[in-house]
Amino acid sequence: MAEDYYYESQIDKDHEWEQYLKEPKSGNFEAVLNMIKAQVGIALLALPYGFYNSGIGYGSIIQSLSVLFSLYGIRKLILIADEVQKPKLYYPELVEQILGEKVEVFAYAGVQAGDLEIIVITAIILVPFIFINNFHFLNTSSGFAIILMIFSLVYILIYDLQEIEQYNIGINSNSQQFFKIEGAIPIIGLAIFNCEGITCVFHIRDSMKKQSDFMKLFSLVLLFLLILQIIFGSINVFTFGKNLQEIVLLNIPYTDVYSFIAKIGYATGILLSYPIQIFPVYTLLQQSMKMEDLSTAQIYKVYGVRMSLLASLFLVAYMIPEFSGLLSFLGAVSGVATQMTFPLWMDYVYQKNHKSKFLKYFDLSLLGLSIVLMVVCGYSTLKDLFI
């Protein structure tokens, strides 16, 4: 059986389940907070810029397709995980189980920073989170982060509507087109990056009391966020047009205390969401280094590894030349791989003898499409990023 892969004896299996059941669990509301925070990040602020360069209509279609692909991939992962039946089964373990030890999953998490001072401040805020070992305890930071980010998003939308009304900005303005061929490729990676939380799904599901509710809740969260993304991207394109900057918050002037809170609040919300998104990376590193058991003898070594990872990400963030191009590249490569390629590949290997011919060929077609997207979009965005 699939679950036998993980256990040397029934005693080991029973012991792991016993420890797992003793851990504190989250309710559905807390899980929804973690889902939202896993999905909402800095990429939402870059989405209007992507919509402007690609056209609102095309951008909306690509964003919708990205959400559908993400849901399709997650559903396949969850179905496989349900059959494996192992506590604390995460993405890298599932890949190793289905595709073999030689297949590596590369995860990337990072923060965008303008200068060294910002990176130092960010490090001071984030370092305490390396000592958290249970995903359940990130609920509080998720709730606070969502409050800050909702305030910022509402402020931006109110500012947009006031600008549209004051200057009589119309949908037929020359600066707003519904399709632009020159932005057709970069928006694909950016849209996929906006569904960045797929590597967190197992951690969130694992932290829930009622895991059977996960797919229903996650589908509703993604639908809500899709509507938010399309509205947010479109309104900001209508408002700022050709003056739209890579990060839409840069278009908002410091006019009062509310604008200041909106800018600082969203940035703080992103920092508080960072531990949720990097948690799977910690898990992957610890498993690859055979440090799954957080015993007293190993605990300091684990924290040292986490600190090294955090430091390396700050170094990368300090050296990146263009922000929106980076998001597009990451979405086109790692985003497509984690949301489409690996889920479809694992599902084909695991279920190939239990599928209809139509579904088998349909999934193989999507798998081929994902590889084409990685190559074409990855090369295009990488070329634009450094040339």
Q: Is residue 153 part of a domain?
A: no
* pLDDT given at position 263: 76
Return the axis-axis angle of helices 56-84 and 91-99, rounded to nearest 10°: 70
CA distances from 229 to 56, 59, 95, 135, 179 (A): 11, 10, 30, 26, 17
- Establish if 333 belongs to a structural domain: yes
pLDDT in tens, the chain (387 residues): 444 444 444 555 555 545 555 566 778 888 888 788 777 777 788 889 889 888 889 999 999 999 998 899 888 888 887 777 666 666 667 776 776 654 444 433 333 333 444 444 444 444 444 444 444 445 555 566 777 778 888 888 888 888 877 766 555 444 456 788 777 888 888 888 887 667 678 778 887 888 888 899 999 999 999 999 999 999 898 888 888 888 788 888 877 778 878 777 776 666 665 544 544 444 544 454 444 554 555 555 555 555 555 555 555 555 555 666 767 777 777 778 888 888 888 888 887 667 788 888 898 999 999 999 888 888 887 777 665
- Is residue 62 one of the residues assigned to a domain? yes
Backbone torsions φ then ψ of 208, nearest 5 degrees? -85, 145
Q: Is the pTM of this model over 0.75?
A: no
Residue 104 covered by a domain:
yes
For the chain, how many structural domains are there in total?
1
SS (H, E, C) the chain: CHHHHHCCCHHHHHHHHHHHHHCCCECHHHHHHHHHHHHCCHHHHHHHHHHHHHCHHHHHHHHHHHHHHHHHHHHHHHHHHHHHCCCCCCHHHHHHHHHCCCCCCCCCCCCCCCCHHHHHHHHHHHHHHHHCCCHHHHHHHHHHHHHHHHHHHHHHHHHHHHHHHHHCCCCCCCCCCCCCHHHCCHHHHHHHHCCHHHHHHHHHHHCECCHHHHHHHHHHHHHHHHHHHHHHHHHHHHHHHHHCCCCHHHHCCCCCHHHHHHHHHHHHHHHHHHHHHHHHHHHHHHHHCCCCCCCHHHHHHHHHHHHHHHHHHHHHHHHCCCHHHHHHHHHHHHHHHHHHHHHHHHHHHHHHHHCCHHHHHHHHHHHHHHHHHHHHHHHHHHHHHHC
How many Cα atoms within 13 Å fall on the side-chain side of residue 343?
25
Asked if the structure places residue 65 within a domain, the reply is yes
Q: Is residue 355 part of a domain?
A: yes
Range of the domain at 24: 11-143+166-249+274-386
CA–CA gap between residue 332 and residue 372 (Å, rounded): 10
Domain annotation covers residue 18: yes
Q: Is residue 215 part of a domain?
A: yes
